[in-house]
Amino acid sequence: MMNNEEFRCLLKRATEGDKASIEEILRLYSPLIDRNSYIHGKLDEDLRQYLLLKVSQNIHKFSS
Amino acid sequence: METGQRNEKDELRARFTVWLKTLLRRAKIDYIRLERRYPKTVTLELTEKETVIPPPESVTPNSFDFENDKLRAAFVRLSLSKRSILEMLFVRGLEANEAAREMGCTIQHVYNLRSKALKELRAEMSKEEGNDDE
């Protein structure tokens, strides 16, 4: 578990478009993304990919 | 002082989590809407394999006892499915629903094929008659 300072830096780099940081954020939050990828109790892999894509496309909009 | 800083950063993480949850929820709704509007389709090859059952192979011009050679020639020119429909309906005397079951298609399709086949035969016959007249 990273400390708050590390998380702040990571999030800042991710919002600035650093690919490695975005990947790290996606990895950190993968349980949340996976939980949202279920339709009628079944994991929809296409939906999971769509969510990953949307997060990486929109993360720059988050203002810290 | 230190605890105040920690709270501030914890707040950042919490804010990001809430933001992410909202984004995910909206994206999921978008996805479901798109899915409903453009459902995943099956390729044409697959549906063809499932629905089109080849007509019985034994339909030859000899299935009918043609009295008329012209009619035989016209019959040969029909497509295989039309020939097999005519054979089933008129030689074997099947009902339309039985023929439909055998062909793996709808009853309406059987009627359509029959009327098209008869129309083609009629056209061929009248054409050839016309040629003879000339």
Q: What is the ipTM of this complex?
A: 0.91
Pick the CATH number of B52-133 from 1.10.10.10, 3.30.70.2740, 3.40.640.10, 1.10.1060.10: 1.10.10.10
Cβ contact, residue pair A50, B10, below 8 Å: no
Record the tokens describing residue B112, joined without a space. 């359509």
**B-chain residue closest to A15, CA distance:** B16
Q: How does pLDDT run across B98-122, given as a tens digit for each residue?
A: 888 888 888 898 899 999 999 988 8
Predicted TM-score (pTM) above 0.80: no
Domain ranges, ordered by start, for chain B: 2-40, 52-133
Record the tokens describing residue B47, joined without a space. 């549906």
| Nearest Cα to Cα of residue B3 among A4, A12, A7 | A4
Domain count, chain A: 1
SS3 state at A31 = helix
- Phi, psi (degrees; rounded to nearest 5) at A38: -100, 130
DSSP 3-state percent helix, strand, coil across chain B (nearest 5):
75, 0, 25
Q: What is the pLDDT of residue B134?
A: 38
Q: How does pLDDT run across B60-87, given as a tens digit for each residue?
A: 555 566 667 778 888 888 888 888 888 8
Task: Count how many residues are written for chain A.
Answer: 64
Q: Which residues contact B23 (CB under 8 A, 6 or more apart)?
A: A54, A55, A58
Please tell me the distance from the alpha carbon of residue B131 to that of residue B123, in angstroms, as a whole number: 12
Of B9, B20, B25, the CB nearest to A55: B20
